C-alpha cells in the first residue's frame, strides 16, 4: 500500500475520533494539526486546558497477531519519541484504545519489544508486541463504538 494511501486512511481514522471528541464535556474547539505537523494529530481545547492526541491504527494486527509501532524512520526517531501529544489513540481490531504518551513510552522501556525492519522501502524499525499485550499497553475506550474495519476504510479511500 502506498504512503499516500496510508495517509488517507489515517485521516479517515482521525475524523472518526474527532467526532467522538465533539461530545466531550467542556469542549470549546477541535482542530486537526497542520500538514506534516509532528507535534500531534488533533488538539482539543476545553474551558480549562488543551489536550493533544496522536492517532494511530494498525490494519494488520488481527492477521499477524502483532501490535506494530513505528520506532524509527530513516534511522531517526519516529512518532513515539518526537510527538508532543498528551495521548496516543490506537485503533485496531475494530477497537479504540488510549494511553498517555509518557506512560506508553515507560511501558515500552520496561517491556522490550521484538524489532524488525519494514514499511515503505524497509526504511522503518518497527516494534512488535503480541496482540495479547494491547490491554497492558492501552486502555480501551468503551464509549467509542466499533467502526468499519480498516479494510473497509481502505476500500472507501480507493477513489480519493
Coil, strand or helix: which one is 158? coil
| Per-residue model confidence as pLDDT tens digits over 60-88 | 888 899 998 988 878 887 888 888 999 99
| Per-residue model confidence as pLDDT tens digits over 85-115 | 999 999 887 888 999 999 999 999 999 999 9
Report if pTM > 0.85. Answer: no
Tell me what pLDDT residue 145 has.
55
Architecture of domain 3-59+83-111+133-156: 3-Layer(aba) Sandwich (3.40)
Q: How far apart are CA 50 and CA 29, in angstroms?
A: 9
25 vs 21, 22, 28, 48, 73, CA distance in Å?
Answer: 9, 9, 9, 11, 37
Cell of 141: 475506550
Determine how many CB atoms are found less than 10 A away from the CB of residue 126: 19
Tell me what pLDDT residue 82 has.
84
| Per-residue model confidence as pLDDT tens digits over 21-49 | 888 888 888 888 876 667 899 999 988 88
Q: Which helix (H) or strand (E) holds 140?
A: strand 139-140
What are the extents of the domains in the chain?
A: 3-59+83-111+133-156
Amino acid at each position: 500500500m502506498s504512503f499516500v494511501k496510508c495517509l488517507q486512511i489515517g485521516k479517515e481514522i482521525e475524523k472518526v475520533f474527532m467526532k467522538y471528541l465533539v461530545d466531550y464535556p467542556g469542549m470549546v474547539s477541535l482542530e486537526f494539526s497542520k500538514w506534516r505537523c509532528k507535534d500531534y494529530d488533533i488538539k482539543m481545547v476545553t474551558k480549562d486546558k488543551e489536550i493533544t492526541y496522536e492517532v494511530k491504527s494498525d490494519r494488520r494486527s488481527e492477521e499477524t497477531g502483532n501490535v506494530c509501532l513505528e520506532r524509527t524512520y530513516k534511522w531517526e526517531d519516529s512518532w513515539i519519541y518526537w510527538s508532543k501529544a498528551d495521548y496516543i489513540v490506537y485503533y485496531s481490531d475494530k477497537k479504540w484504545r488510549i494511553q498517555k504518551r509518557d506512560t506508553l513510552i515507560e511501558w515500552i522501556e520496561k517491556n522490550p519489544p521484538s524489532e524488525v525492519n519494514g514499511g515503505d522501502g524497509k526504511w522503518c524499525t518497527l516494534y512488535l508486541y503480541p496482540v495479547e499485550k494491547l490491554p497492558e499497553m492501552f486502555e480501551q475506550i468503551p464509549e467509542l463504538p466499533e467502526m468499519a474495519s480498516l479494510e473497509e476504510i481502505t476500500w472507501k479511500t480507493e477513489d480519493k
